[in-house]
Amino acid sequence: MPAKKAGRQQAKRSIRTKGDRTETRTAIAKAMSSMEGGDTAVAETAVRDALRIMDRAVQKGILHKNNVNRRKGRIAVRLNKMKAASA
């Protein structure tokens, strides 16, 4: 495939996936900040939403499966620590 065409295709793809990447990063940041806030109910909903959005990013090919699994595990550990500390 000619390099010019590949460049055009990559430009289209980056525009198409930019919103999804932003949504994923925002969801992860919200989950982290809600866990720092201390309210377990708010943190659980934010984490659940973040996990759902990360799974969607894997399906769309934006993030790699192993990368998302690692992030999900780390978020779950932090949430469990927060629950244990508040209980």
Q: For residue 36, what are the domain limits?
A: 3-86
Quote the pLDDT of residue 86.
80
Q: Average pLDDT, stretch 45-51?
A: 97
Give the closest residue to 49 by CA, choosing from 70, 33, 65.
33
Taking a C-beta distance cutoff of 8 angstroms, is the pair 24, 54 a contact? yes
Which pLDDT band holds residue 47 (cuts at 50, 70, 90)? very high
Quote the pLDDT of residue 63.
94
pLDDT above 70 covers a percentage of the chain that reads 100
d(CA 55, CA 76): 14
Which pLDDT band holds residue 38 (cuts at 50, 70, 90)? confident
d(CA 76, CA 1): 43
CATH number reported for the structural domain that contains residue 8 in this entry = 1.20.58.110
Which amino acid would we find at residue 7? Answer: G
Quote the pLDDT of residue 48.
97
Q: How many domains does the chain have?
A: 1
